[in-house]
């Protein structure tokens, strides 16, 4: 984001240009009580329509065009977000798949995107009504004025982008596949442990639940069963392999020195139960902000589906070999695709460092939940 040059007596804005990353934010949508995390909209073409107030004739025209394009903004290939700063728009159209309206009545989002001055001045002459078109990584690829001609041009531009032109398997995705982290025999031992011990439905962390490390269940978004490894001998064996074989590769490939390990579980995605995990990031709330890299170690290969994809970078699905790990930053949006047949077993720890450990303690102190001890690198 680049600050626009200011002269005496003029409003000052933070101005976005084509090629810039779009700012992330959390803001409530019209008709909803909880804020929406905008980073979760990645993985598709995104349109932001800063119309200020639906009472404005140009805004009304823009909104009518969005309604006309409901088939385009289906929530899969493209999504549209209207942004209003007018409290009278609380009764705007309710959210539907692929189309929402942000209640930006405090102007926080509008200031981020440079359509409102930094000081929040709301004089009509200071509001820059505009369209922003973003790519699946949430980078700005088009900016159009909210005029009749500009609105038509913005939507014509989006129609030319959908479906998004995936660069294909040659596209670079910032992940690493590391084979032979666990030996086949050790993989079989962990699966046997899961089957003998039993497992529980795996929940989803939420900000509200974080104070007691609690979770909620949403089978439409995540369907997985987890078994915590409690046997000390198995814990020691798994930790040793991860610190000896994964940590050096993270240091070599990403210059990250992992010294802490969070959770050792055997997880199962079962096709018979509709196993899957929708688009998510692994470090977006206080309870998980310390996480730096995810380590996904496949324990078997007699299944179909269940690959891990990164929608910000394309549709390619990754599937490590038996005993192999997929390593990726916890900040990347990723999805576990629906299972087709069989069961996918995996060991799914996270690693972090001393800085992450300090952050974890600070966040725990704020909300009063107890941090379980984390093993350190030997």
- Write out pLDDT tens, residues 263-298: 999 999 999 999 999 999 999 998 899 999 999 999
Residue with token string 């699966």: 191
The backbone region for 52, taken as left when phi is positive above 0, alpha when psi lies in -120 to 50, beta otherwise, is left
pLDDT in tens, 107-165: 999 999 999 999 988 888 899 999 999 999 999 999 999 999 999 999 999 999 999 87
Residues 184 and 138 in one domain: no
Asked if 45 and 95 sit in the same domain, the reply is: yes
Q: How far apart are the first and last CA of the chain?
A: 42
Looking at residue 211, its pLDDT comes to 41
Q: What is the CATH number of the domain that holds 209?
A: 2.60.120.620
Confidence of residue 7 (pLDDT cuts 50, 70, 90): very low
Same domain? 152 vs 245: no
Determine the pLDDT at residue 168.
56
**How does pLDDT run across 333-375, given as a tens digit for each residue?**
999 999 999 999 999 999 999 999 999 999 888 766 666 666 6
Pick from 137, 161, 185: which residue ends a domain? Answer: 161
Q: Do both 156 and 215 map to the same domain?
A: no
CA distances from 184 to 169, 189, 305, 331 (A): 28, 9, 21, 30
| Average pLDDT taken over every residue of the chain | 91
Q: Is the pLDDT of residue 310 over 80?
A: yes
Helices (H), 134-179: 148-161
Diameter over CA atoms, the chain: 74
Q: Of 295, 297, 299, 298, nearest to 350 (Cα)? A: 295
Give the per-residue pLDDT at 5: 39
pLDDT at 9 over 60: no
For 164-178, write each residue's pLDDT tens digit: 876 655 568 999 999
pLDDT grade for 255, boundaries at 50, 70 and 90: very high
pLDDT, average across residues 323-333: 98
How many domains does the chain fold into? 2
pLDDT score for 216: 81
User: Smallest Cα–Cα separation from 336: which of 371, 311, 309?
Assistant: 309
Report residue 31 as tokens: 């008709």
Phi, psi angles (nearest 5°) of residue 46? -120, 135
Q: What is the pLDDT of residue 371?
A: 63
Phi, psi of 237, rounded to the nearest 5 degrees: -65, -45
Assess whether pLDDT exceeds 80 at residue 23: yes
Nearest CA to 82 out of 74, 71, 72, 98 is that of 98
How far apart CA 279 and CA 277 sit, in angstroms, is 7
Q: Which residues contact 67 (CB under 8 A, 6 or more apart)?
A: 93
Domain housing 281: 175-367
In a domain, 94, yes or no: yes
Indicate if 72 and 186 belong to the same structural domain: no
Q: What is the CATH number of the domain that holds 48?
A: 3.40.30.10
Regarding whether 129 and 208 lie in a shared domain, the answer is no
Confidence (pLDDT) at 245: 97
* The pLDDT value given to residue 212: 42
pLDDT of residue 166: 64
328, 295 contact by CB (below 8 A): no
Same domain (yes/no): 191, 77? no
Same domain? For 231 and 363 the reply is yes
* Same-domain check for residues 128 and 18: yes
* Rounded-to-integer distance, Cα 186 and Cα 237, Å: 9
């Amino acid at each position: 984001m680049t600050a626009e040059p200011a002269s005496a007596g003029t409003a000052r804005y933070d101005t976005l240009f084509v090629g810039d990353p779009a700012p992330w934010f959390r803001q409530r949508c019209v008709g909803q009580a909880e804020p929406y995390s905008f980073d979760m909209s990645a993985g598709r073409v995104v349109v932001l329509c800063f119309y200020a107030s639906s009472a404005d004739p140009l805004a009304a025209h823009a909104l009518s065009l969005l309604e006309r394009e409901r088939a385009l903004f289906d929530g899969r290939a493209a999504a549209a977000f209207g942004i209003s700063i007018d409290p009278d728009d609380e009764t705007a159209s309710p959210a539907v798949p692929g189309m929402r309206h942000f209640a930006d009545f405090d102007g926080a989002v509008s200031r981020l995107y440079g359509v409102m001055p930094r000081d929040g001045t709301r004089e009509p002459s200071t509001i820059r009504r505009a369209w922003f078109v973003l790519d699946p990584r949430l980078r700005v690829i088009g900016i159009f004025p909210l005029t009749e001609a500009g609105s038509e041009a913005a939507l014509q531009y989006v129609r030319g982008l959908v479906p998004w032109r995936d660069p294909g398997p040659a596209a670079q995705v910032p992940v690493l596949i590391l084979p032979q982290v666990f030996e086949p025999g050790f993989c079989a031992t962990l699966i046997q442990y899961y089957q003998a011990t039993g497992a529980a439905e795996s929940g989803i962390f939420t900000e509200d639940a974080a104070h007691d490390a609690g979770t909620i269940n949403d089978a439409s978004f995540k369907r997985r069963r987890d078994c915590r490894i409690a046997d000390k001998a198995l814990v020691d064996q798994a930790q040793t392999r991860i610190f000896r074989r994964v940590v050096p590769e993270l240091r070599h490939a990403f210059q990250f020195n992992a010294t802490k390990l969070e959770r050792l579980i055997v997880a199962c995605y079962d096709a018979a139960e509709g196993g899957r995990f929708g688009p998510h990031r692994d470090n977006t709330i206080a309870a998980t902000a310390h996480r730096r890299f995810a380590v996904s170690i496949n324990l078997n290969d007699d299944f179909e589906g269940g690959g891990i994809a990164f929608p910000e970078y394309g549709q390619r699905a990754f599937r490590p070999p038996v005993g192999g790990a997929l390593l990726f930053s916890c900040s990347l949006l990723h999805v576990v695709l629906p299972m087709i047949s069989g069961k996918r077993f995996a060991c799914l720890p996270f690693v972090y460092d001393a800085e992450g450990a300090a952050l974890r303690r600070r966040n725990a102190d704020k909300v009063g939940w107890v941090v379980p001890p984390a093993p350190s690198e030997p």
